[in-house]
Homo-oligomer: A and B are copies of this chain.
Amino acid sequence: MAQIDLSLIIPIATLAGLGFAGLLARDVLRRETGSDQMREIAAAIQQGARAFLRRQYKSIALIATALAILFAVALGWQKGYVLGLKTAGAFTLGATLSALSGYLGMQIAIRSNIRSAAGSLRSFNDALVIALRGGAVSGLSIVGLSLAGVSILYYGYGFGSAATETAQMDLILSIVGFGFGASLVALFAQLGGGIYTKAADVGADLVGKIEAGIPEDDPRNPAVVADLVGDNVGDCAGRGADLFESTAAENIGAMVLGVVLFSYFGIAGVIFPLVARAFGLLASIVGVFVVRAREEESPMGALNRGYLVATALAAVLFGFASWAMLQPTAPTSSGGLTWIYYWVCGLTGMGTALVYVWVTQYYTEARYRPVRDIAKASETGPATNIISGFAVGLEATAIPAVVVSIAILFSYWLGETTGIPRGGVYGTAIATMGMLATAAYILAMDTFGPIVDNGAGIIEMAGMSEAARKNMDKLDAAGNTTKALTKGYAVGSAALAAFLLFNAFLTEAQVKAVDLAHPETFVGGFLGGALVFLFTAYAIRAVGRAAWSIIKDVRDQFRENPGIMAGTVKPDYGRTVDICTRSALHEMVVPGILAVATPVAVGLIFRFVKITYVLNQVTLRMEPIPAGEPLGATLMVGTIAGVLMALVLNTGGGAWDNAKKFIEAGNLGGKGSPTHKAAVVGDTVGDPFKDTAGPSLHILVKLLSTITLVIAPLLV
């Protein structure tokens, strides 16, 4: 059968995604905004969130501009100015679109929160639908922009000039900067936002709940608005940038590997990743529109229904795309059935996503053993609570590691069985596409989390009715679950994508093997592992430092103005927001620079070492190893360590959180008991784990991939 050109679906899906995002935004913005008091609180949140984002983007723009110039000059000097300029252009577009999608997602989230809260005054379904649609604006526009960016560069840079394999490879190499730009912005967005959100949370809790003895979300606490702002800048903007980056990097990496199979699939193999993403986006749109909850239903039931619809539809569309495009033009042993092998690779990826979601639920929901164990351990105090939670986090790495291993081996084996040389790696690439197919829907569920969290806070602070509070609390609990699921999904896709991006790097850097038996390579791997540990240290510590500045400010406000605690004077929310903004942005710089500098340093040092081998006539080393080889090990071992550490931090943090909630629900002594106090310690420790360091590690892993792709030409 001949190939069918489906490339038209790329602009269609992009426009559909962005168009529906616009429609949903209009629908959400038209909704009621509740009482004046609610509006006042929401306005304070909006103001804080915007101020943070403005300043954060200013810092990121500075760093990004410096890096763009640096890479343009380095690449231009070594490989000619065309590649230098094109890379800088792609980098700038990636960084800009990533920032834009974070901005858009947050703008709508900080407007949806109050509208979802107002909806809860009427009915549960209204609150749910508004929150999910608000989240969907974010999900659809982020995936739409990612697809648009990669396609514009691919078609723009390559217009009428890329009919051969070499030309295609040069073309893709010139757009890898897009992925790097995206991951750079993602890293800083997640780090800064993650530090902000948890510093505000920890600070508000420590000084409010523990020192002053006032409940969560009490309007007398000056840090309460900063806490609500944090949910938006950390969870919405952070995770949005994270998945923007995932989809972009995965697309580009898969296209590199598609070029390798040029003699079998031609250009169809190169643009297949874009088409697959386009179909996934369409499936996600449908998924968002089928969600509707019955009054008495658990919100997770409704959300899961949408997810399953999106996944099922994506599976069918994926099969259609494979059938239409993955028809080999040269003879292979699998012949006309080749597309089936690759389709099954895609299904493997979708299955991996489901398993990750399930495993995350098992380890973080109070229905199952792990969270119960932590709650039980809290009976003997905070120390045993911490030990137990940390053990749960560590344990939670095992199944995901085995599942990703099976997915990689199985899809590789399927790809090899097609009989196409290097078809195995393309199989793992397609599995990754499958895993990320429903990214837009997952992202909608994720952004749903901070929207309802904020909504619940607004209802609480404005002192609204018991029924509304109950509606929002139910949604808030579901939001915690969706946030945990997305993190599991993000780690899983990072792990799966790593192998494909690694292979793209090897292709580009012309490295044949990454052999750990070479001392330079072993050392490269060792340093990659250590980078993950050191980065985690900085990310966690940053939260402690920033939280400290908030605690100080709240204490000062209470002391300066006793009317605050009496409830007669309103605290200065803005001042706390401001202090939190400044310290979060200050703290994100060192770990961010560390993440960017380490792979560059490893790459360049071993390039230099290689030169000394050649100069030093005494050594009998037969062939100096390629300069890219140690860097490859940094990338791979760093990825393995990063994925495992992220699983520990995300899962441990989520499990501590829910162990506390389990006790608060009246178990083991309930709220206020010593057991509960011990569980609060674990929850507080888990905050920077699960919302700062863990999610930043996903991005670190992907940044390692994209930065090595960008500097690969310098190592050849």
Bound state CA distance, A390 and B333, in angstroms?
54
Question: What residues of B have a CB within 8 angstroms of the CB of A644 in the complex?
Answer: 529-530, 533, 641
The answer to whether A333 and B530 touch across the interface, beta carbons within 8 angstroms, is no
Copies of this chain, whole number = 2
Question: What residues of B have a CB within 8 angstroms of the CB of A540 in the complex?
Answer: 387, 390-391, 394
The answer to whether A517 and B544 touch across the interface, beta carbons within 8 angstroms, is no
> Which listed residue (B395, B405, B648) contacts A523, Cβ 8 A?
B405
Report the stretch among A96-104, A273-281, A290-298, A613-621 that lies at the interface.
A613-621
CB contact list, A352-382 vs B, under 8 A: 377, 380-382
> Which listed residue (B206, B392, B519) contacts A380, Cβ 8 A?
B206
The proximity string for A residues 544-559 relative to B, scoring 1 for CB distances below 8 Å and 0 otherwise, is: 1001100100000000
Contact A397:B534 (CB < 8 A) given known A541-B388, A681-B681, A688-B387: yes
Closest to A205 in B: B383
Question: What residues of B have a CB within 8 angstroms of the CB of A536 in the complex?
Answer: 394
The answer to whether B383 and A684 touch across the interface, beta carbons within 8 angstroms, is yes
Report the stretch among A124-132, A577-585, A632-640 that lies at the interface.
A632-640
Given A390-B685, A394-B533, A516-B516, 16 more pairs with CB closer than 8 A:
A206-B384, A333-B620, A387-B543, A387-B684, A390-B540, A391-B544, A398-B533, A408-B523, A412-B519, A416-B619, A416-B621, A419-B619, A424-B621, A506-B517, A525-B640, A641-B644
**Interface check A386, CB cutoff 8 A:** yes
Question: What residues of B have a CB within 8 angstroms of the CB of A392 in the complex?
Answer: 537
7 A-B residue pairings within 8 Å (CB atoms): A380-B548, A381-B681, A383-B681, A395-B537, A419-B620, A514-B516, A525-B636
Interface residues of A (CB under 8 A from B): 202, 206, 210, 333-334, 377, 380-384, 386-388, 390-395, 397-398, 401-402, 404-405, 408-409, 412-413, 416-417, 419-421, 424, 428, 495, 499, 502-503, 506, 511-517, 519-520, 522-523, 525-527, 529-530, 533-534, 536-538, 540-541, 543-544, 547-548, 551, 616, 618-621, 632-633, 636-637, 640-641, 644, 648, 680-681, 684-685, 688
Identify the 8 closest CB pairs spanning chains A and B, nearest first: A394-B537, A401-B530, A383-B684, A395-B537, A513-B515, A391-B541, A405-B523, A397-B533
Bound state CA distance, A202 and B632, in angstroms?
43
The answer to whether B529 and A517 touch across the interface, beta carbons within 8 angstroms, is no
Bound state CA distance, A511 and B384, in angstroms?
45
Most buried by B among A334, A382, A419: A382
How close is A691's CB to chain B, nearest CB, in angstroms?
13
The answer to whether A401 and B527 touch across the interface, beta carbons within 8 angstroms, is yes
The answer to whether B394 and A522 touch across the interface, beta carbons within 8 angstroms, is no
Question: What residues of B have a CB within 8 angstroms of the CB of A408 in the complex?
Answer: 519, 522-523
Question: What residues of B have a CB within 8 angstroms of the CB of A684 in the complex?
Answer: 381, 383-384, 387
Contact A517:B513 (CB < 8 A) given known A391-B541, A681-B386: yes
How close is A704's CB to chain B, nearest CB, in angstroms?
14
Bound state CA distance, A202 and B386, in angstroms?
13
Question: What residues of B have a CB within 8 angstroms of the CB of A502 in the complex?
Answer: 516-517, 522
How close is A224's CB to chain B, nearest CB, in angstroms?
19
Question: What residues of B have a CB within 8 angstroms of the CB of A621 in the complex?
Answer: 416, 424
Bound state CA distance, A511 and B517, in angstroms?
10
> Which listed residue (B210, B401, B541) contacts A529, Cβ 8 A?
B401
Closest to A636 in B: B516
The answer to whether A526 and B405 touch across the interface, beta carbons within 8 angstroms, is yes
Bound state CA distance, A315 and B533, in angstroms?
34
Bound state CA distance, A520 and B425, in angstroms?
12
The answer to whether B377 and A544 touch across the interface, beta carbons within 8 angstroms, is yes
How close is A214's CB to chain B, nearest CB, in angstroms?
17
Question: What residues of B have a CB within 8 angstroms of the CB of A402 in the complex?
Answer: 527, 530
The answer to whether A517 and B503 touch across the interface, beta carbons within 8 angstroms, is yes
Contact A398:B522 (CB < 8 A) given known A210-B381, A419-B620, A637-B640: no
> Which listed residue (B398, B495, B519, B548) contacts A499, Cβ 8 A?
B519
How close is A549's CB to chain B, nearest CB, in angstroms?
12
Contact A685:B522 (CB < 8 A) given known A402-B527, A506-B517: no
Question: What residues of B have a CB within 8 angstroms of the CB of A523 in the complex?
Answer: 405, 408-409
How close is A30's CB to chain B, nearest CB, in angstroms?
43
Question: What residues of B have a CB within 8 angstroms of the CB of A384 in the complex?
Answer: 202, 206, 544, 547, 684
How close is A340's CB to chain B, nearest CB, in angstroms?
14
Bound state CA distance, A163 and B60, in angstroms?
67
Bound state CA distance, A495 and B527, in angstroms?
13
Bound state CA distance, A513 and B629, in angstroms?
13
Bound state CA distance, A522 and B684, in angstroms?
35
How close is A212's CB to chain B, nearest CB, in angstroms?
14
Question: What residues of B have a CB within 8 angstroms of the CB of A525 in the complex?
Answer: 636-637, 640
How close is A209's CB to chain B, nearest CB, in angstroms?
11
How close is A329's CB to chain B, nearest CB, in angstroms?
17
The answer to whether B530 and A398 touch across the interface, beta carbons within 8 angstroms, is yes
How close is A580's CB to chain B, nearest CB, in angstroms?
16
Closest to A523 in B: B405
Bound state CA distance, A538 and B537, in angstroms?
23
> Which listed residue (B413, B520, B534, B544) contacts A398, Cβ 8 A?
B534
Question: What residues of B have a CB within 8 angstroms of the CB of A420 in the complex?
Answer: 620
Closest to A411 in B: B519
Question: What residues of B have a CB within 8 angstroms of the CB of A522 in the complex?
Answer: 408, 499, 502, 636
